[in-house]
Structure 1
Amino acid sequence: MLAVRVPKWEAEKVRRKLIELGVLAKGYAVRREGEFVLFPVTEPVEGFELVEADFERVGRRPHSYREVVEVPDEVRPLLPSSFDVIGDLAIIELPEELMSYGKAIGDAILRVHRHIKAVFAKGGRVSGEYRIRELVHLAGERRTETLHRENGIRLKLDVARVYFSPRLATERMRIFEKTRPGEIIFDMFAGVGPYAVLLAKKAELVFACDINPWAVRYLEENIRLNKADNVVPVLGDVRKVAGKVEADRVIMNLPKFADRFLREAMLSVRDGGVVHYYGFGPEEDLFSEHEARIKAVARELGFGVEFLEERKVRPYAPRQFNIAIDFRVLK
């Protein structure tokens, strides 16, 4: 077929020009011949060397690893339809029946998603004081540190040493949109700083606390990466910080145990300030238990509360959801 022949150092510029002219033939692989590159074209193009050449046809690239992975038919229905991407790492949750096919699944993910460099399987639930989980290496590079981008910020982290969920990016942006310029914010369980660094774009000051030394180490690096100099990292138990901060807004992103820290949150927010509380709730009654606990703690302190918004954030387990409750504290 007809082709444009150009020196390889001009190839990218010529490719763009051929696309702009609408003459680059689709569905064919570009050929390389020594110091030259050949582009298939649909018609003669003035100003370029034209030659006749054969080209390999290329098919549609698969969109899902499930299109190319080789596993027995009887377990194929168990293949997860999604996985988490953190930076250039993929973390997939596999049922026990698929663990023995982990390498094939990992290789398939790498083949389809070229930007991913390593694949891990979740080895268990998030657990322990530092909220981390065991990871099983399936394929690709043997590293767990990466650079993740979301909401216009960069976050460096080690997925084996800190807790981080990319699925909360939309929730973090929701809080950002509610934040008013000049606020003082207390992020009680900050991790590597996905809330703190983002909110620093609007806030006057963000106090970001975490008990995990690795999380605070990466938080400090992310402050530098994003030039978020108005974030104050605090390593230690949040109970020792509570009450020493008077914030306009408090973030309680510790859904499994946030109810245990409501007293500290309410003592750290000014009169009329807002607390963003996270928890887990059953599908049939998402919020009642959490509302009751919030009211009870407020009564003990002699405060009032005004519920502002309640929402499902994401599914957590069968018939269980990660929920958010925004409430105002009245002192």
Structure 2
Amino acid sequence: MLAVKVPKREAEKVRRKLIELGLLAKGYAVRREGEFVLFPVTEPVEGFELIEADFERLERRPHSYREVVEVPENVRPLLPSSFDIIGDVAIIELPEELMSYGKVIGEAILKVHRHIKAVFAKGSKVSGEYRVRELVHLAGRRRTETLHRENGIRLKLDVARVYFSPRLATERMRIFEKTRPGEIIFDMFAGVGPYAVLLAKKAKLVFACDINPWAIRYLEENIRLNKANNVVPILGDVRKIAGKLEADRVIMNLPKFADRFLREAMLSVKPGGIVHYYGFAPEEDLFSEHEAKIKAAAKELGFTVKFLEKRKVRPYAPRQFNIAIDFKVMK
């Protein structure tokens, strides 16, 4: 087939130019001959040496596990279009009709995503004081500890022992961008530290509380991993800590029950400080119920609040959303 022949030192520049012109033939491996590189092209390119050459076809790799998984046609429409990846662990939510095909689904995920080493299915909803769920092993290694990377930090965790959602990485970065250098921050439900360790890059001090001893154990390890020595891990019930510190910014990442801790959040923020509140809400009325609870908690304490921003964070269930409300507390 037709090819452009260029010296190796110019190869990368020429490759980008051919892509820009839409002339680089897809599906073929580039060839190297001594000090030259040969690019397959779809038509003659002015200003370059053109030759005829044979190229090896590249095997097209599937983009989705659904392209390779072997399940009966009647259940194929039920295959989930997405799943969570935490480090090198994949966690997929399968409807009951697909659980008997869990092994072949897990093996298909491993085949397509080479960096994934273990695949689990959600065996229950997030529940209990520690906000964890049962996991069903489908394929790969039988281990739940992993190292996850996001937003320039590393987080070691055990997906079976602590709560962690990779889908909140964008939200965590949103808070990071709002944080001003030198702030004191109170992360009320810190988990393994995805907010705390990230915000430590800007903050003077981050108090990171969680009631799950496994979460605090991994938080301590993540402080060392990221050299985030200005993070103070606190194991215990946040109710016992509230009011004993004054923060410029409070993170309330406990969407199912955050409304129960509004009093504690407001007692722990400086006058004029900001609270980042999270909740769950139906699509038809995302914010009004949560705003009413925030106003009521402030009134009970003799404070007032100013709402700064309201947003949908992510879908949570059919017609249900994880929402965020940022508000300022005036005392």
Q: What TM-score results when the alignment is normalised by the length of structure 2?
A: 0.86
Take 1:157 and 1:46, find their aligned partners in 2: how far apart are those partners?
48
Please name the residue that 1:291 is paired with.
291
Written as runs of structure 1 = structure 2, the 5 A alignment for 1:239-278 is 239-278=239-278
* Contact kept in structure 2, 1:124 and 1:134, CA below 8 Å: yes
| Runs of 4+ residues deviating >4 angstroms | 15-22, 24-29
Amino acid at match of 2:136: V
The answer as to whether partners of 1:219 and 1:233 remain within 8 angstroms in 2 is yes
The answer on 1:172 being equivalent to 2:172 is yes
1:265 is paired with a residue whose SS is helix
Residues 1:16 and 1:77: Cα distance change in structure 2 (over 3 Å): farther
Please state whether the residue corresponding to 2:105 is helix, strand or coil: helix
Q: Is the 8 A contact 1:280 1:322 kept in 2?
A: yes
> Pairwise mapping of residues 211-226 of structure 1 onto structure 2 (< 5 A)?
211-226=211-226
Mapping of residues 1-331 of structure 1, within 5 Å: 27=27, 40-41=31-32, 44-46=33-35, 57-331=57-331
Aligned length in residues: 304
Task: Summarize the Cα distance change of 1:47–1:200 in structure 2 as closer, same or farther, 3 Å threshold.
Answer: closer
SS at match of 2:81: coil
Structure 2: 5+ residue runs without aligned partners? 2-7, 16-23, 38-53
Amino acid at match of 2:201: K
Letter of the structure 1 residue corresponding to residue 89 of structure 2: L
TM-score, scaled to structure 1? 0.86
Equivalent residue letter for 1:109: I
**SS of residue paired to 1:266:** helix
Q: CA shift at 1:124, angstroms?
A: 1.2
Structure 1 CA distance, aligned partners of 2:13 and 2:271?
Answer: 60
**Structure 1 unaligned runs (5+)?**
2-14, 30-38, 49-53
TM-aligned CA deviation for residue 227 of structure 1: 0.3
Whether the 8 Å CA contact 1:28–1:40 is kept in 2: the answer is no
SS at match of 2:102: helix
Cα offsets for 1:187-244 (capped at 9, x unmatched): 0000000000000000000000000000000000000000000000000000000000
Residue identity in the other structure for 2:320: Q
Superimposed CA distance per residue, residues 101-137 of structure 1 (whole angstroms, 9 cap, x where no aligned partner): 1111111111111111111111111000000000111
Evaluate the alpha carbon distance shift between residue 205 and residue 235 of structure 1 in structure 2; reply closer, same or farther with a 3 A threshold: same
Calculate percent identity across the aligned residue pairs. Answer: 85
**1:53-72 deviations in whole A, cap 9, x for unaligned?**
x9864321111111111011
Alignment RMSD, CA only?
2.4
Q: Alpha-carbon deviation of 1:19?
A: 6.6
3-state DSSP class of the match of 1:74? coil
Distance 1:111 1:232, change over 3 A: same
Residues 56, 99 of structure 1: alpha-carbon distance in 2 compared, 3 angstrom cutoff: farther
